[in-house]
Amino acid sequence: MKKRIKKTYICKDIKDYNIDETILTDYHPKVGDVGIFEIIKIGKHKTVEDEDKRNATIISSDLMMAAFGNRYATAQFEGYVPDKCNQELHILGAGGIVGVVHSMHYNYIDIGPTTIKLVGLVKDKGGNVMNTKLNQQPNMISFTGAVATSTKVILSVGSSMDSGKTTSAAYMVNGLKNSGYKVAYIKLTGTAYTKDCDLNYDLGADITADFSDFGFPSTYLCEEPELFDLYESLLQKVIAIRPDYTVIEIADGLYQRETIMLLTNPRFKETIHSVIFSATDSLAAINGVNSLTSWGLPPFVLSGLFTASPLLIKEIKNYTTIPVLNLGELSANGVEILHKYNESLLENKRNLLKAL
């Protein structure tokens, strides 16, 4: 295989490998299994993010190293690891996630996914298929909840994909940093791509980390224990700089599988200091507040896409007393509002103790 292989970001830590072009028809790939793929037809993805975080242009007949994974993206693709490899495959995510598209947003019906085929499996010296998750397994730790006590965890969650979670997180990071705090950012769930970490780093985060650091092509369909271990492992990674605050973004909307799994679990909720909620419109904002409050995670501030509309802001303020901040306000005033929120919580606890 003489042609240059474009190594995608999820495969950045795959070293010392051989390529086996003998693909068994009964081979059933697993999440994280690494292969060499040929680009057949360009569709949605015209670039992939390479190991150096550069968006590399791809054309038909190019070769790339990528990993099998699942994807849940309401504005793009729903896709899964296939049962077999000798079929048409698709690029599910630009970070190097491949599988088979099951459904797609209407915007991509005409163009479709970029189609690929497997031309070789990436194996170690022992002849085993290399796997991005197994490659990082020794670095994972088990969940105890103890690591979260070393920092204050602020969640950034939203009503849906593209509701503004990442930018809300980034401008909160910016405000915290401008106030003199040491700040970490974690992208806990989603599909591998460094854009969100990069934005938060650019706006002031002292350290960033995401699930792909531990070899996860995505977190879709992870089992709960694995997801909790990932959470603890990511916290352990950023805690090395001793951050005062760690802003953690959870992908997609509140009702997505992994999101609701986390937000309704008492062990997870015990580790959370406060919550930012981003929404697309007034109905999503108010119903999101109601859901989060019922789960014991009331947000201290509302932000997101809806703040571009003064009328939507007015609608929302008619139905909640939670502060509504646009991005500039989140950076300038978010920390002050966070402190006031914390003071009110302490006052409520003191009053409760007096009542007892």
Q: How far apart are CA 356 and CA 352, in angstroms?
A: 6
Q: Which residue, 131, 163, 193, sits at the end of a domain?
A: 131
23-51: average pLDDT = 95
Neighbour count for residue 167 (Cβ, 10 Å): 20
pLDDT digits (tens, 9 = 90+) for 212-262: 999 999 999 999 999 999 999 999 999 999 999 999 999 999 999 999 999
Q: How far apart are CA 61 and CA 63, in angstroms?
A: 7
In a shared domain, residues 188 and 120: no
- The secondary element (H helix, E strand) that includes residue 354 is helix 327-355
In a shared domain, residues 103 and 59: yes
In a shared domain, residues 83 and 156: no
Q: How far apart are CA 346 and CA 31, in angstroms?
A: 44
Q: How far apart are CA 251 and CA 273, in angstroms?
A: 18
Q: Which residue, 112, 131, 150, sits at the end of a domain?
A: 131
Structural domain harbouring 349:
140-355
What are the beta bridge partners of residue 45?
A: none
107-122: average pLDDT = 97
Q: What is the pTM of this model?
A: 0.96
Residue pointed to by tokens 């048409």: 88
Contacts (Cβ under 8 Å, ≥6 apart) of 33: 67, 68, 121, 129, 130, 131
Q: How far apart are CA 160 and CA 72, in angstroms?
A: 12
* Structural domain count of the chain: 2
Return mean pLDDT, the chain. 97
Give the 3-state secondary structure of residue 74. coil
261, 267, 269, 271 alpha-carbon torsion, rounded to 10°: -130
In a shared domain, residues 177 and 294: yes
In a shared domain, residues 103 and 161: no
